[in-house]
Amino acid sequence: AAARTITTGNVTGATSLVLNAGTGGIALNTTGTGAMTFTATNIFDVNASATVSIDSSGNAINIGSDANAFAINVGTGAAARTITIGNVTTTTGLVLNAGTGGIDIGNTAQVRTINIAGSSASVNQTVNIATGASSNGTGHTVNIITAAPSAGGDNVVNIGNVVGSSTITIGGNSALSDVFIGTGATDVILGGSTGRVGFFATSATSKATISGSRANTEQALKDLLTELAAKGLITNSTTA
């Protein structure tokens, strides 16, 4: 039981080192503050027919933490598998950072479904997109389906398309916020056949029915102005 350096093998020519074991396996242990370092000037490959685990009970696990400009591939083998990152234990967080190269999710030519916050989540969840202030003064740009389908057909964007009570807010509360809907040769339909619509912070109402006789334009105009005001489209300041 003495501290010593034990060297096995050498790096001369085609020298190799082979460690074999039966069912008892191979154990490499270090105690105290001693580090275990593996250095290869060529490929370093780890294969197993069972689970491969990398764990640390006392500090961070770093993969690709050196400043080397080479790709890091996880789960890129051509096999159907489920790749899980992170967990849902208490305050666990997940951070994705990128430089000017950006972040691509599902950017290949496969038919797929991408769920954010879960398609069957049983708890309330909040999804924020570009909610922080821009630091360079140019503002954020959020694009949703800005290209036409390559094989024809139509793009479909569903927001709040669920059965039940939902509040959907588009646009901020700043006087500098502009909201454009259908800026090109676009058909815009507001409200379903049994839906209700309100404007300028007026409570939503059903599709209006204008009554009165066209022979009595005063009564018909009065009813029209009343209905338009009810939807918030005008302020009816007319007098009798």
Per-residue pLDDT of the chain (240 residues; tens, 9 = 90+): 788 889 999 999 999 999 999 999 999 888 777 788 888 889 999 999 999 999 998 899 999 999 999 999 999 999 999 999 999 899 999 999 999 999 888 887 788 888 877 666 567 778 888 777 777 777 778 888 877 777 777 878 887 777 777 777 777 666 667 778 877 777 888 877 788 888 888 888 888 888 888 887 888 899 999 999 998 999 999 887
Which residue in 157, 136, 135 sits closest to 145, CA to CA? Answer: 157
Whether the CB-CB separation of 223 and 190 falls below 8 Å is answered with no
* Residue 98: predicted pLDDT: 92
Q: Which long-range contacts (CB under 8 A, 24 or more apart) does 203-206 make?
A: 205/230, 205/231
* Residue 121: predicted pLDDT: 59
Whether the CB-CB separation of 229 and 221 falls below 8 Å is answered with no
Alpha helices, DSSP H only, in the chain?
217-230
* Residue 173: predicted pLDDT: 67
C-alpha distance across the termini of the chain, in Å: 109
Percent helix / strand / coil, the chain, rounded to 5: 5, 0, 95
CA angle 67, 71, 72 (to 5 degrees): 90
Is pTM beyond 0.85? Reply is no
- CB neighbours of 225 closer than 8 A, spacing ≥ 6? 234, 236, 238
Q: Would you state the structure tokens that stand for residue 129, as one six-digit string? A: 């997109």
Q: Buried b vs exposed e over 37-66: b needs ≥16 C-beta within 10 Å?
A: eeeeeeeeeeeeeeeeeeeeeeeeeeeeee
- CB neighbours of 33 closer than 8 A, spacing ≥ 6? none
DSSP state of 217: H
Other Cβ atoms less than 10 A from the Cβ of 208: the count is 14
* Residue 120: predicted pLDDT: 65
Strand partners, 205: 197
From CA 230, how far away is CA 208, in angstroms rounded?
9
Which residue spans within the chain are E strands per DSSP? Answer: none
